[in-house]
Amino acid sequence: MLKGKFITLGVTGSIAAYKAAEVASLLNKAGADVHVIMTATAQKFVAPATFAALTGNPVHTQLFAGAGGPDGADNPGVAGGLFPHIELARAHLIVVAPATANILAKAAHGLADDLLSATLLAAPGPVLFCPAMNVHMYQNPATQANLAALKKSGRHVLEPGTGALACGETGAGRLPEPREIVAEIVRLLGGPARDLQGLAVLVTAGGTREPIDPVRFISNRSSGKMGYALAAAAAARGADVTLVTAPTALAAPGGVRAVLVETAQQMREAVQEHFPRADIVIKAAAVADYRPARPAERKIKKEGETLIIELVKNPDILAELGRLKKPGQVLVGFAAETENLLANARRKLTEKNVDLLVANDVTRPGAGFGADTNLVKLIYRDGRVEDLPLLKKTELAHRILDAAIGVRPLTY
């Protein structure tokens, strides 16, 4: 899909530099001609030889051709010329991944004191920045101003992910997954129609909150990571994506229409509104089964040794969709279990009339709430069970979408 495309990949000094190796590999496998520029600090994290092996091209580290690199090797011009920064700037696309706060500042202010910054200054075509850094560095007003300046000048920015960072803190600043970066590259280069192009995908995510009083609620441990990964993956593959999400700590993926809700009833109303036009519906949200019958209008004071709250059942959104779905619509459900995984999942698949069920035992290591990975079984209407290995949720999202596409022409 990227055959013959000349792509310059800039790698800067971030712990996320190791992910750039996978980006280079994916681009190479897609047929792109990848030329890597590494800053001096990037070479502290990954050796240039890694990228040379993955791309089949020399790695560029010096501003002038023939200048010896740290390993004594020459830095040839791309086409044999003396000025690599001019030749590398003529790429169909320049992508900087990871992009540190330093390179963002240089690019925003037109500095050119090394090969990468000089190449960016000389670039006449599209440039994509994929920021990765500490959350406070990312949120710093100077960094945000630099990002705004780059966007205003026509440069593209793939927003970082949110979660645990290498520094031990949590927040925005994680480099997007390599597949997401490559999907954005394909989009920017006007690649061929992706497999979900023209389809509407509806995803639900997060754990609903059912109010007890103005300051308390009943909820669950869902982080929303799986649903958000599905929404991002579907958008990357060309779908028109609507994400109906209960409260989470995550930022909505780019290119996704986000509908914010809180309670199960609000989620039900939003889903019913968007369901009729959806081709694929993926119910990844953890909807509370019960809600307080009579939420207090004011904060309940601590009185007595016990507090009795009467709960009533919430509507079963998945079952309702199973009854409403029309020929051509695919409905995907989730089953998070703690025992009898297959039996409970198969019963849910039948009772809810879903086309594909994603089942996981949340007691297994790496498969519980809040994790970046998941260990699931895909259960099909024809009785097949597909055991998937432990995968990152970003990777698993694509496997689930592959399965959903696979059942779509066979379901009806």
Residues with catalytic roles: 167
Position 202, amino acid: L
| Strand, coil or helix: 171 | strand
Q: What is the DSSP letter of 207?
A: B
For residue 103, count other CB atoms closer than 10 A to its CB.
27
Neighbouring-strand partners of residue 357:
333, 379
- The gap from C-alpha 275 to its chain's centroid, in whole angstroms, comes to 23
Query: Would you tell me the crossing angle of helices 317-324 and 341-352 to the nearest 10 degrees?
Result: 50
- Phi, psi dihedral angles at 127 (to 5 degrees): -130, 135
Distance in angstroms (rounded) separating the CA atoms of residues 128 and 379: 39
Buried b (16+ CB within 10 A) or exposed e, 114-130: bbbbbbbebbeebbbbb
Distance in angstroms (rounded) separating the CA atoms of residues 405 and 196: 8
| Strand, coil or helix: 193 | coil
Q: What is the DSSP string of 53-117?
A: HHHSSPPB-SSSTT---TTS-----TTS-S-HHHHHHTSSEEEEEEE-HHHHHHHHHT--SSHHH
Quick one: which of 21, 6, 25, 11 has its CA closest to 79?
6
